Chains A and B, each alone.
Chain A
Amino acid sequence: MEKELELNDLYDGFRNPEVMKAYAKLIEEDASKLDKTINIMEVCGGHTHTIMKYGVPQLLPSNINFIHGPGCPVCVMPKDKIDSAYALAMQEDIILVTLGDMIKVPGSNGSLQDARSKGADVRFVYSPMDCIKIADENPSKTVVFFAIGFETTTPMTCSLLKTVIAKDMKNLYFHVNHVTVPEVMEVLVQSDDCKIDAFLGPSHVSVISGSKIYEPFPKKYNKPVVVSGFEPVDVMQSIHMLIRQFVENRSDLEVEYKRLVSFEGNLKAQEMIDTYLKKVTFKFRGVGEVPLSGYDLKDEFDKYNAKVIYEKILPKETPKENKACKCPEILKGVAKPTDCKIFGNVCTPTNPVGSCMVSSEGACAAYYKYGNLLK
């Protein structure tokens, strides 16, 4: 009889000490053939977290360097969006619902957590579909789903909207702040101070969008990309694949996470996104306005769009950023968290100044939590 898949099968092999050590040796051998330092940008905060939590840099030779990228949905959220969420949350008849760490990011008037301590009804969910239950249980209130995240969470928001339309629900609106990865990567590689030699592409994004979204980077910009899973062995294997490309003088798009990633991605999810959402300019924190890097509801769904319905109460002015905070430079990959003067003293996970310290996927939070022993 075939053995049933068990929970630990999902990660045990991908944290195998012998495999980790074997990859460390292979990387060391290949890296010794290179006469320069390779700067690898891990675009996604999830990879930053894995790299720091499992001590990956301690296993690598000194000519491999990580640059942390703008791929944490909480970190890239500009202050004005948080101010919008805050303004919505402070309305008496609104229940503001969002995902995890978003409630901790400080805005001009405070965070959503602060709004909650002032009496606002702010809730976080792990699945956007939970909004249905909240809206059903509170018929006299309006639920606003403050939707955040990259390609991975976007289909869930669409799925929620599909259900809202099917059920003809009248008290669930959307404030959509979804963003996409390739456009912001393009801004980074085109910038004058770009130090990036290669990319680790987030696998979960490609599960939805396919590996095809990274095609321009090796071809047009000569920056190799490996689409990588999030387990420590995935990351080590992906680093080895990248370093091999430099040894062999190649610049290719490769997929390490073949377990789920195809070139085309999840066509059904892509179709659903195309049905409900349109591409818009999004102002990435730190990076600035990136054309066609964000999503909003298509005009035909205006009656569900909180940005349209609550236009009058949403703040218009651009809030000021704390000048001491280096989040913008960190998100662009030109500074490390430890380059920031307020890192670890004024700015801590308990009292975050910048968004990179707030989110558990943020580079500053990862450095603060795991980084102390790094070489």
Chain B
Amino acid sequence: MKKVTLAHGNGGAENQELISKVFYKAFENEILAKSEDAAIIDNGRLAFTTDSFTVSPIFFNGADIGKLSICGTCNDLAMMGAKPKYLTCSVIIEEGFEVDKLETIVNSMKIELEKNGAKVVSGDTKVVPKGSVDKIFINTTGIGEVQKEGISSNKVSTDDVIIVSRDIGAHGATIFASREGMDMNTDLQSDCASLWPQVEALINENINITALRDATRGGLSAVLNEWAVQSDICIEVNEEAVPVKDEVKGLCELLGFEAMSLANEGTFVLAVKKEDAKKAIEVLSSFENSSNASIIADVTKQYDKKVVLNSPWGTKRFLELPTGELLPRIC
């Protein structure tokens, strides 16, 4: 690894290598080492996270960069069982950017903040010469109040089953289909959504949640691989049970992608105690965004730190972390 390439931002193997060899090495501390969606600070009371958004195109079916920037950070908090409360918003704008587009983006942010019951309480604006950034980059940082303690991707065990909240890959597929040059006619929409309402409902129903993670860059495959490593377990996925929309499957067929590696912005993965799995599905199914939630995998000890994909005809293979330059900027 001598130079940073686009592959280093893929949410997969190269991305992890860059983070661990450069950032974790320098910033090493016990909170960061847990590698959770958000850091748990203040004696477990608060969750704290940050994310930058550089998606291209900035407006796409189902959302825009503004909605994405609030969902992304609030969802990282929600994944630690924390209610999103306070956000900062830092914007880098390319000279020449239209103000009415900026207003549309900021309005999307406002609507999404309301859904989370969160506020932007501090911010920063920079304008840079044309060509220095691609239109607009947004960074949001968030603090949330932990409502349920102990959710951790380091604690998944054979007492758990794995659930996915809805069909996978819609965001990645939408962004790819709307890329310049693709000229694809599709009704596909990004799954971009705030997940706190679902998480709150699960907590209120006393579902025994071990771990939660939104399947953003690197998709379902990255989440499951990270959990397998962090919790020292084997995750055995029933391939048939993983919900994927036909349009997403079609795009994957066309372009040679795997839906399991495509990004999501409103889909999360849950590890819940076996006895609570049915109830968790019931709770999730009551939400439009997660009406097709499914139990997709068992946790075993068959292969250490590995994800196994079981095909409907009885063959199996490892589901590896995505590698290489998958997509242009997706979040």
- Where the two chains meet, the residues of A that have a C-beta atom closer than 8 Å to any C-beta of B are 6-8, 10-11, 15, 17, 20-21, 24, 52-56, 58-59, 100, 104, 113-114, 117, 125-126, 130, 133, 232, 348-350, 360, 369-373
Stretch at the interface among B79-87, B143-151, B247-255, B291-299: B247-255
Interface pair B318/A372, CB less than 8 Å apart: yes
Point out residues on B near A: beta carbons under 8 Å: 3, 5, 7, 13-14, 17, 181-182, 240, 246-247, 249-250, 253, 255-256, 308, 311-318, 320, 323-325
> Would you call the interface of chain A mostly helix, strand, loop, or mixed?
helix
Q: Shortest CB–CB separation between residue B17 and chain A, in angstroms?
A: 7
Decide if A350 touches B7 in the complex (CB within 8 Å): yes
A289 to B182, CA, bound (A): 36
* Contact across chains for B182 and A350 when beta carbons are under 8 A apart: no
Judge whether B313 and A21 touch: CB under 8 Å: yes
The reply to whether A55 and B256 form a contact with Cβ atoms under 8 Å apart is: no
Q: A6-B246, A17-B312, A113-B5 are in contact. Are A373 and B317 (CB under 8 A)?
A: yes
| Supplied contacts A21-B313, A55-B315, A133-B181, 16 more A-B pairs, CB within 8 Å | A8-B246, A24-B313, A53-B317, A54-B313, A54-B315, A55-B311, A58-B316, A104-B325, A114-B3, A125-B181, A349-B324, A350-B13, A350-B17, A369-B320, A371-B317, A372-B318
- Name the distance in Å between A74's Cβ and chain B's nearest Cβ: 12
Nearest 3 pairs between A and B by C-beta? Answer: A55-B315, A17-B312, A20-B313
Most chain A CB within 10 A, of B253, B256, B317, B325, is at B317
CB-based A-B contact count at 8 angstroms? 74
B317 touches A372 (CB 8 A): yes
Whether B3 pairs with A117 at a CB distance below 8 angstroms is yes
Tell me whether B324 and A58 are in contact (CB under 8 A): no
Contact of A7 among B249, B255, B317 (CB under 8 A): B249
Most buried by A among B3, B246, B313, B323: B313
Nearest residue in A to B182 (C-beta to C-beta)?
A126
Contact partner of B308 among A17, A54, A58, A373, CB < 8 A?
A373
How far is it, in angstroms, between the C-alpha of A318 and the C-alpha of B14 when the chains are bound?
Answer: 32
Which residues of the partner chain B approach A133 to less than 8 Å between Cβ atoms? 181
**How far is A15 from B308 in the complex, measured between Cα atoms in Å?**
19
Residues of B within 8 A of A6 (CB): 246
* Inter-subunit contact B181/A130 (CB<8 Å): yes
- Once the chains are docked, how many angstroms separate the CA of A81 from the CA of B318? 35
Taken together as a complex, chains A and B put the C-alpha atoms of A373 and B303 apart, in Å, by 10
Contacts of B325 in A (CB 8 A): 104, 113
Asked if A370 meets B317 with Cβ closer than 8 Å, knowing A6-B246, A117-B3, A126-B182, the reply is: yes
**Pairs across A and B, CB under 8 Å, 25 listed:** A7-B246, A8-B249, A11-B253, A17-B313, A17-B314, A21-B314, A52-B317, A54-B311, A55-B316, A58-B315, A58-B316, A59-B315, A113-B5, A114-B3, A126-B181, A126-B182, A126-B255, A348-B323, A350-B7, A350-B13, A360-B256, A369-B320, A373-B308, A373-B316, A373-B317
**What residues on A are CB-neighbors of B323 within 8 Å?**
348-350
Q: Measured between C-beta atoms, what is the minimum distance from B136 to chain A in Å?
A: 22
The answer to whether A7 touches B250, judged by C-beta atoms less than 8 angstroms apart, is yes
In the assembly, what is the distance between CA of A350 and CA of B7, in Å? 9
**Which residues of chain A are near B249, meaning CB under 8 Å?**
7-8, 11
In the complex, which of the residues B7, B182, B311, B312 has the most CB atoms of chain A within 10 Å of its own CB atom?
B311
Q: In the bound complex, how far is the Cα of B309 from the Cα of A58, in angstroms?
A: 14
